[in-house]
Amino acid sequence: MDIFYVLILFAIFLGGLVRTYFGFGEALVSMPLLTLIGLDIHTSISVIGLAGILVASFNIFLDYKSIDYKMLVVLLVGSLVGVPLGIWILHFVNTSLVQLLLGIFLILYGIYAFGIKVFIKNHDVIILKSSIWTGLTGIISGILGSLYNSHGVPVVIYGTMTGLPIKTLSSTIQAHFLLTAILVVIGQGTGNIWTNETLPLFFLACPLLLISVVIGKYCKQRTMNRNFDLWLYLFIVMLGIILISSH
């Protein structure tokens, strides 16, 4: 197999591994790598979109009992509004500024959340309970999903402010990702984002995505719950750095 395709498959596999362990972030890891490899942007977006559906499906099958269905419905309604907005932005607006601002926000939030957790023992915890915040998160998730296949960034940040147990949060996010990813992929397919290489690359990557889910689940089970949120915050900072460096 050509080294070009080996590198593409590795980037997709790495994204699936990250998605399974952290619950999000596969696009923000895979997309910059695919860009560096030389795969065109539309093929990258469409392949990662399909890969996200497959990985989310595997994860939901394993953890469907922990889903918070009320939150899921509100997030999905918001995403129904956000997805077409993201498709419009992708076609008519320069997304470089959005990418830069998103990267800066992720770095600042990750450092803030990590610092609060580690260095300030007695601190006030922000708990967002209103469905308005859930709906707004869904809209932003839909927009970013269309732009970068990054449905997860706003949902994970919002989830850390709901007080939900990590397992419930992770399962609900995966369910939302699956449903939103389906909407995003439909929007990409009808919005002339797919290319002739989209489906062949996706089918070629399917076995590796399954392996990435198995490895990611094993690694996650070996991580203590009290440490997972710290790794999550550091991962958010890393994603911000990746976004800015690939700007």
Question: Are 11 and 48 a contacting pair, CB within 8 Å?
Answer: no
- What amino acid occupies position 134? T
| pLDDT at position 15 over 70 | yes
| pLDDT at position 123 over 60 | no
Which tens digits make up the pLDDT trace of 59-106? 777 666 778 888 888 888 888 888 888 878 777 776 677 778 888 888
For 74, other C-beta atoms within 10 Å of its C-beta total 19
Round to whole Å and give the CA distance between 19 and 56.
8
| pLDDT at position 33 over 80 | yes
Per-residue pLDDT, 65 = 72
Question: Are 82 and 140 a contacting pair, CB within 8 Å?
Answer: yes
Please report, for the chain, the start and end positions of each structural domain, with discontinuous segments joined by +. 3-245
Question: Are 27 and 141 a contacting pair, CB within 8 Å?
Answer: no
The whole model's pTM is what? Answer: 0.73
| pLDDT at position 125 over 80 | no
| pLDDT at position 157 over 90 | no
